[in-house]
Amino acid sequence: MRRILWITGALLVVFVLVMQARRPNFDLPKVHAAASFDATMHPSQQVSDTLHQSCYNCHAAQAKLPWYGHVWPTSHLLQKDIRRARARLDFSSWNNLSPEMARIRLLSACQMMRDAKMPLWYYRPLHPGSTPQPEQVDAFCSWAQSLPAAAQTASLR
């Protein structure tokens, strides 16, 4: 019985070490600064700071990976989360959105922050300070709601 446990443990260690050699591909597409949210929407400094603090690690090309982002299996989980997050909302290629869609995405982000659904629950403990304060959420939501509605943007064209 001891021998079986020892062999199982040794195989598990070898498996983990082999998996460390498999690095996920975090090469995200390069984005021009002119295409970014900040360059396109010109938010206030407070709104910009809030988004950079709470959202950009997953929803922009400027993701900063923590140390555990280079260790299997968390590296693969992070890669999956980042790709999924950027598919839903990407601040790096904001110029690809129409004004109507940009407003919809921002209002949706406002609601997600108000409902405490963003940042995700498992992200918060590992990134203290990432959860926006209520006054930051209110400032962001006020700014997002002040953007012109679809009918108003159509008349601007």
The string of pLDDT tens digits covering residues 3-34 is: 888 888 888 887 776 766 666 666 666 667 78
> Is it the case that residue 129 has pLDDT exceeding 70?
yes
On whether the CB atoms of residues 145 and 111 are closer than 8 A, the answer is no
Burial of 96 (0-12, 13-18, 19+ CB in 10 A): exposed
**3 part of a folded domain:** no
**135 part of a folded domain:** yes
**11 part of a folded domain:** no
- Which residue has 């869609």 as its token pair? 101
**149 part of a folded domain:** yes
Angstrom distance (rounded) from CA 47 to CA 142? 10
Residue 28: what pLDDT? 61
Q: Taking residues 117-145, what's their average pLDDT?
A: 92
CB atoms within 10 A of CB 69: 18
Residue 156: what pLDDT? 47
SS3 116: coil
**18 part of a folded domain:** no
Q: How many domains does the chain have?
A: 1
Residue 134: what pLDDT? 95
Give the pLDDT band (50/70/90) at residue 153: very low
**9 part of a folded domain:** no
> H or E stretch including 39?
helix 37-41
Q: Which domain holds residue 110?
A: 34-156
**16 part of a folded domain:** no
**95 part of a folded domain:** yes
SS3 68: helix
Q: Taking residues 32-61, what's their average pLDDT?
A: 89
- Structure-block tokens of residue 134: 């209520």
> Is it the case that residue 96 has pLDDT exceeding 50?
yes
Residue 154: what pLDDT? 46
